[in-house]
Amino acid sequence: MKFVERAFGSPKRELPKEETEKRKNPLSSAEEEILEMREKASSKDIIGGCSSRPVFVEFKDDGAGIFKLSSREEKLEHVGNYKKERAAYLADRFLGFGLVPPTVIREIDGEIGSVQEFVPDAKTAAEAYLTPAEGKEPTLTKEQKQSLKLELFKLWFFDYLLYNRDRHGGNLLVKENKIYAIDNGWTFRKNDFYWPFCRFFDTPIPQEVKDAFERFYSWKEGKEILRDLLSELLDKDEVDCFFKRVEVVERFVRQGTIPENAQSALKFDPGIIEK
Ligand SMILES: Nc1ncnc2c1ncn2[C@@H]1O[C@H](COP(=O)(O)OP(=O)(O)OP(=O)(O)O)[C@@H](O)[C@H]1O
Ligand SMILES: [Mg+2]
């Protein structure tokens, strides 16, 4: 060993750029940063039969969030669902649908979990009487129903792509003609069932949904970055299957509809998904 190396250590190997620098998420938002940093002012458990036993957290200065603790999952055999809350948010960001409120992973009082921005003054679809199973008529105007149709289509398309098994009427919020997809812990499923809130099989895919999907699909670097981000949160096969679904759905988008008989075309099993 040369004297210089003995004294100062051997010169560092020049690593290729991709090894030294992780590609940054170009879509990371100010809202996410605020959610990650803001200090807790107070917190309380949400009362009711909620299976993940989320906590409502108020932040100092402004805003609130829904905190889902990883420690509560272990007892409920929902391990990893809090990560899927974040994964679903990321997928939504990259698709550009704007359905999922900003969601991050962070620590509060020494506990790790997901924190989703609280949407004030919103009603769940069940509360807004949008759930047909309840046998109640929506209390919405014709115009509201019309504008919600596009939002509901986006939600259905999103849940199809993410293979969500839990979009019941309590897991979406409605506010001023906008839909918020909350409670996304049962997405990216494996060999499971798919449970949407509504169905638009064989219905022409609206142009806005097509455009958003095609923008995402043709953004090669974006898909690679999303794959990296999802890989930090999900199993490898969950990520692989998501991207295989993207390929299947792309064919449907080109055709203009998702056929009714494609309901089980996206089972979360690499062996089942057609190549
Ligand atoms: N981002 C949000 N903004 C406003 N309210 C929210 C938000 N997230 C959750 N809520 C409210 O808290 C309730 C429980 O949250 P969530 O559905 O995520 O919990 P859960 O334990 O997974 O529920 P489930 O009973 O479906 O298993 C929701 O039905 C909704 O009323
Ligand atoms: Mg719920």
Look at residue 54 in the predicted model and tell me its pLDDT.
94
Quick one: which ligand is closest to 85's CA? 1
* Ligand 2 centroid to residue 183 C-alpha, Å: 5
DSSP 65: E
Look at residue 6 in the predicted model and tell me its pLDDT.
39
Q: Which atom of ligand 1 is nearest to the CA of 49?
A: 25
- Cα angle for residues 188, 182, 264 (degrees, 5° grid): 35
Shared domain for 181 and 54, answered yes or no, is no
Shared domain for 88 and 162, answered yes or no, is no
Look at residue 78 in the predicted model and tell me its pLDDT.
80
Quick one: which ligand is closest to 116's CA? 1
Look at residue 184 in the predicted model and tell me its pLDDT.
97
Shared domain for 87 and 165, answered yes or no, is no
CB 234 within 8 A of CB 188: yes
Query: Does a structural domain hold residue 2?
Result: no
Nearest CA, atom 19, ligand 1 = 50
Nearest CA, atom 18, ligand 1 = 183
Shared domain for 89 and 35, answered yes or no, is yes
* Ligand 2 centroid to residue 50 C-alpha, Å: 6
| Ion ligand 2 contact residues with beta carbon within 5 A | 170-171, 183
Shared domain for 112 and 234, answered yes or no, is no
Shared domain for 243 and 182, answered yes or no, is yes
* Ligand 2 centroid to residue 218 C-alpha, Å: 33
| Residue pLDDT, tens place only, 224-246 | 999 999 999 999 999 998 999 99
Query: Does a structural domain hold residue 10?
Result: no
- Cα angle for residues 255, 261, 263 (degrees, 5° grid): 95
Shared domain for 157 and 127, answered yes or no, is yes
What phi and psi values does residue 18 have, to the nearest 5 degrees?
-70, -20
Query: Does a structural domain hold residue 250?
Result: yes
Query: Does a structural domain hold residue 217?
Result: yes
| Residue pLDDT, tens place only, 160-203 | 999 999 998 889 999 988 999 999 999 998 777 788 888 899 99
Give me the number of domains the chain comprises.
2
Look at residue 3 in the predicted model and tell me its pLDDT.
39
Shared domain for 254 and 169, answered yes or no, is yes
- pLDDT < 50 stretches in the chain: 1-13, 15-16, 18-20, 272-275
**Which residue type does 26 have?**
P
The two tokens of residue 121 are 């003054």
Q: Residues near ligand 1 with C-beta < 6 Å? A: 46, 49-52, 54, 66, 101, 116, 118-119, 122, 124, 170-171, 173, 182-183, 185
Cα–Cα distance for residue pair 29/259, rounded to 1 Å: 35
Give the burial class of 271: count Cβ atoms within 10 A of its Cβ; 0-12 exposed, 13-18 middle, 19 or more buried.
Answer: exposed
* Ligand 1 centroid to residue 183 C-alpha, Å: 6
Nearest CA, atom 25, ligand 1 = 50
Q: Which domain holds residue 84?
A: 30-117
- Choosing from 117, 141, 172, the residue where a domain stops is 117
- Choosing from 117, 140, 170, the residue where a domain stops is 117
Nearest CA, atom 20, ligand 1 = 50
What phi and psi values does residue 55 have, to the nearest 5 degrees?
-115, 135
Going by their DSSP bridges, the two strands 123-124 and 111-117 should be labelled as: unpaired
Look at residue 126 in the predicted model and tell me its pLDDT.
82
Look at residue 140 in the predicted model and tell me its pLDDT.
61
The two tokens of residue 111 are 């506990």
Shared domain for 127 and 257, answered yes or no, is yes
- Choosing from 99, 117, 135, the residue where a domain stops is 117
